Amino acid sequence: MPTLRDVARLAGVSISTVSHVLNKYDDINEETRQKVLAAIKKLDYHANSMARGLIKNKSSLIGLILFGEGIGHPFFHQVVRGTIDEVEKRDRNAILSTVPHDGYEAAPIFRKMHEHRLEGLIVLGLPEGHAAMARILNSKIPTLFVDAVVEGERIGSIRSDNFRGAFLATDHLLQLGHTRIAFVNEASEAAIFEERFRGYLAAHEKWGVEFNPALYIKTGNYRVEGYRAARELFERDRQVTAIFASSDRLAFGVMDELRRAGLQVPQDVSVVGFDDIELACFANPPLTTVRQNGNLMGERAAKELVAMLEDPEYTPAPILIDTELMVRESTGPVRGINARLSSA
């Protein structure tokens, strides 16, 4: 099996130069880098991360911890895929763990962190007020939080621009003439859902439309709960002409209830979601929604964590990823009787 020394000898460079190329350092000129890459390809060299870890007394392992629903959540699946792809590009490995919110017991996860000598952590779906947050922060392990607002030494965070996404969604509905716009939001301690609510309110303020508390419902994050929320909304106010849901799955549940009630989307009620999961464009009708770039979030999370691991002095500033409104067929202008109701 070829070694690092064999690659260096064939390329005519030092072992440290080969190491810098493998670790994607930017202090190697392009000509030298190409020589090293050619030698690696010719020798079919594969870095032995376990051996390198023993030499450096580091594991090269990153823990990827998913709280709540875990990999079953479509958006988290995107983030995990982007994270693992980027971790592997950087010649490291990830250990994936899922932890349910209900019945959560901290000990097994933290035991695994120490048993595997994890160099760093990427944490998804952990609300800021959750009991596990303090344990992770006190562990002193460099950590990158996804979808949380957390700051501290050797701590980074990355999230979508939830405020802007919700503002764009609500503004879109207001431009279409809707003034009775309900918001079905996930009942969670996570700050991202408060940001989405604030974006919804800001769009109302821009248009001079008064917020109606009766049109705001907090619920769980499953499709059936969107179904129940829509039913409750129409029991409160039959004049609702648009519903904005804080996730696509809630939006799908909303559309299920509208169909059951004999209402058409968007002719009678417009619907907007949030996430732009794969099924959104295959819904009937295709769902207007706010796109989060889960793959990019995962890639950036991995890059920032590796940067922290390679530079003990580095702590990244909180990162905000742009959101984009994807307008499809589930939204339209206020029509017929609903147009009269919305302006009443």
Which amino acid makes up residue 32? T
Q: Would you state the pLDDT for residue 93?
A: 82
Mention every residue, 6+ apart, whose C-beta is less than 8 A from residue 71. Answer: 77, 80, 96, 98
- How confident is the model over 92-146, as pLDDT tens digits? 888 887 777 654 555 566 666 666 677 889 998 887 777 778 788 887 889 999 9
- How confident is the model over 289-327, as pLDDT tens digits? 999 999 999 999 999 998 888 888 888 889 999 999 999
Tokens 């009708």: give the residue: 285
- Where do the domains of the chain lie, and which CATH numbers do they carry? 4-47 (1.10.260.40), 56-160+294-321 (3.40.50.2300), 162-292+326-342 (3.40.50.2300)
Q: Would you state the pLDDT for residue 314?
A: 84
**DSSP strand pairing (270-275 vs 242-245):** parallel
- How confident is the model over 6-63, as pLDDT tens digits? 888 999 998 878 877 876 777 789 999 899 989 888 887 766 544 444 344 455 788 8
